[in-house]
Structure 1
């Protein structure tokens, strides 16, 4: 089996097809190095959450009410 790059895999899976109306610029996390907060990440629709760059911090214990269900 041939290993595919992430870029190539996105193209195969229809890159952007489900992310057309999602804010895909910037990134999400806690701290000054992120352009958006974790709360902004959890305010996104479930579909859009799969389209953005997010820090593992947003899945930490402070946010367990959002992803623990």
Structure 2
């Protein structure tokens, strides 16, 4: 069963899930799905444990922030 992942601050239409806990599997992962401004964003990432789900959530937040404020990032 998928676990709840981190929330994406400032984006209520974003949801993240973590892979199920498995003590024997050396990998962990996260799947985030969101929509903003008529656009859909999906990010899936896997990596060796310990896996930083918050780093992936930060990347998703940056992308969603850019969608809501196009042309403001440099």
Question: TM-score surpassing 0.5?
Answer: no
Which structure has more strand as a fraction of its residues? 2
Q: TM-score, normalised by structure 2?
A: 0.20
Which structure has more helix as a fraction of its residues? 1
Q: TM-score, normalised by structure 1?
A: 0.20
